[in-house]
Amino acid sequence: MDRPAVMFHIDSETLNDLSHANDELIQDLHWLLARRDLAAFEKLYPNVRRITDLILAILEGAFPEMSRVSDTLNRLSDEISERMSKASTQEEIEQLSREVASLVSDHQKIVDEVTAEVLRLDKLGRQQ
């Protein structure tokens, strides 16, 4: 039996704090890649991705168009993860590390932009 969905509201300050904590985790991923610690990266990445996806789910409530962005980034991430598991040479691993770093950076920029827009709209709403 399905339970009815319960909606929770998150204030913009809490969302901003959550986004900043996620930013720090993403920086940790970059740090691991810079040190070529792929084992640690592969261990941490799914958790960071899950948290980022949850933040995007929150944002999709306010901005439905975020779902297209999220779907595209998830497909790219899945493709890179699959390629990373098959990489055998150091060159392949380094190239994938660069691609992952770029993808993670792009993903975070989008989350930051949408978070800033949520904060702007929240502030605008409080002024009215």
Q: Where are the domains of the chain?
A: 12-120
Q: How confident is the model over 56-77, as pLDDT tens digits?
A: 777 777 666 666 666 776 777 6
What pLDDT, on a 0 to 100 scale, did the predictor assign at position 66? 64
| Contact (Cβ atoms closer than 8 angstroms) between residue 19 and residue 114 | no
- Rounded Cα distance, 80 and 82, in Å: 5
The architecture of the domain spanning 12-120 is Up-down Bundle (1.20)
Residue 1 pLDDT > 60: no
Give the pair of three-digit tokens for residue 99.
Answer: 């691609």
